[in-house]
Structure 1
Amino acid sequence: MPTSLPVPIQFELPEGWRAEPPDAVGAPGAAFVARHPQPDAGFTANITIDGEYRPDPATLPEIARESVEHLRASGTSVEVVGGREIGSVDAPGLTQTLAVSALVGGVHRELVQSQVYLSMLDVDDPRKRAVIRLILTATASQHPYVLSDFQGFVRTVRPDSGPAA
């Protein structure tokens, strides 16, 4: 069953990408999944969104390291190949790029994950912090071609304030 996000967000999918039910594509922990229209060598690039409340003092780099350790614990080989802090003091974020070697659907794959972590504070209670994670996963050969779609997608993500009054 897909999870829900701790805070509502809005975004626009890149042209051609299509939303899929997380359970149907093997991503039950995701709140949202979109897939690229052109598979590469039998693997379909995808964008997933998940998130959680993080009232603890963990920094975004620490949370990103937790994600790497979680992947490694699943038997996946992971190397962090890049990362940097983005955003501002009021809207901090972090990007992280991973080289992932994994068995997917019985086939060994060399994948690249571009991860973006966005910290969102509750306007009424700043102690309530949610961290939203946006992930692009693609084959190493397709990643350079879909990265600009993902970057455009990330630029559209914003809190959903609900219907205008």
Structure 2
Amino acid sequence: MPTTLPVPIEFSLPEGWQPAPADEAGAPGVAFLALHSQPDAGFTANITIDGGFRPDEATLADMADEAVERLHEVAESVVVASRRELGSEAAPGLAQRLTLSAVTDGARRDLVQSQVYLAMVDGNSPHKRAVVRLILTSTTRQEDSVVGDFQEFLRTVRPDTRAEA
């Protein structure tokens, strides 16, 4: 069963990307999955969105470290290639790029993940902090052809104010 996001968001997918049922595609626990129309050597680049409430004091960097540790459980190697803070104090974010080697569909693949973490604090209840994570996963060979799409997608992500009405 797909996960729901802690806050409603809206976005647009770039051309060449199609939504897919997360559970059927082997991505349980994500709220949204989009697949690229051009697989690379049997691997389909994908964009996933997940998130949740974080009432603890963990920073976005702490959450990014947690994600790296979870990937270590399923990947042969995981390297944080870059990490930088985004946004503002009122709307903080963090982006990290990971390189990893993992076995998918019976084949060892060199993959790249671009992860973006967005934190949203409830103005009425500051202890209520929602974090939305947006991830692009592709082969290293395909990264250059899809990272621009991911950046285009990120520019369209915003809170869905219509859902609050």
**Shorter-chain TM band:** over 0.9
Query: Aligned partner of 1:153: which letter?
Result: F
Q: Deviations over 1:49-86 (max 9, x none)?
A: 00010011111111100000011123442111011001
Distance 1:76 1:150 in 2: 25
RMSD of the TM alignment (CA)? Answer: 1.3
Q: Deviations over 1:24-68 (max 9, x none)?
A: 110011100001110111111000000010011111111100000
Q: TM-score, normalised by structure 1?
A: 0.96
* Cα 1:158/1:38, change in 2 over 3 Å: same
Structure 1 residue 90 displacement after superposition: 0.8
Question: What secondary structure does 2:62 align onto?
Answer: helix
For residue 122 of structure 1, what is the aligned residue in structure 2? 122
Question: What secondary structure does 1:80 align onto?
Answer: strand
Distance 2:29 2:52 in 1: 11
* Cα 1:58/1:164, change in 2 over 3 Å: closer
For residue 135 of structure 1, what is the aligned residue in structure 2? 135
Query: Aligned partner of 1:46: which letter?
Result: N
> Which sits farther off after the overlay, 70-79 or 2-11?
70-79
Question: What secondary structure does 1:47 align onto?
Answer: strand
Structure 1 residue 163 displacement after superposition: 5.5
Distance 2:154 2:75 in 1: 29
Moved over 3 A (4+): none
Question: What secondary structure does 2:67 align onto?
Answer: helix
Structure 1 unaligned blocks of 5 or more: none
Question: Does residue 150 of structure 1 match 2:139?
Answer: no
For residue 40 of structure 1, what is the aligned residue in structure 2? 40
Number of paired residues?
Answer: 165
Query: Aligned partner of 1:119: which letter?
Result: A
Q: TM-score, normalised by structure 2?
A: 0.96
Alignment of 1:14-163 (within 5 A): 14-162=14-162
Aligned-residue identity in percent: 61
Structure 2 unaligned blocks of 5 or more: none
* Cα 1:128/1:76, change in 2 over 3 Å: farther
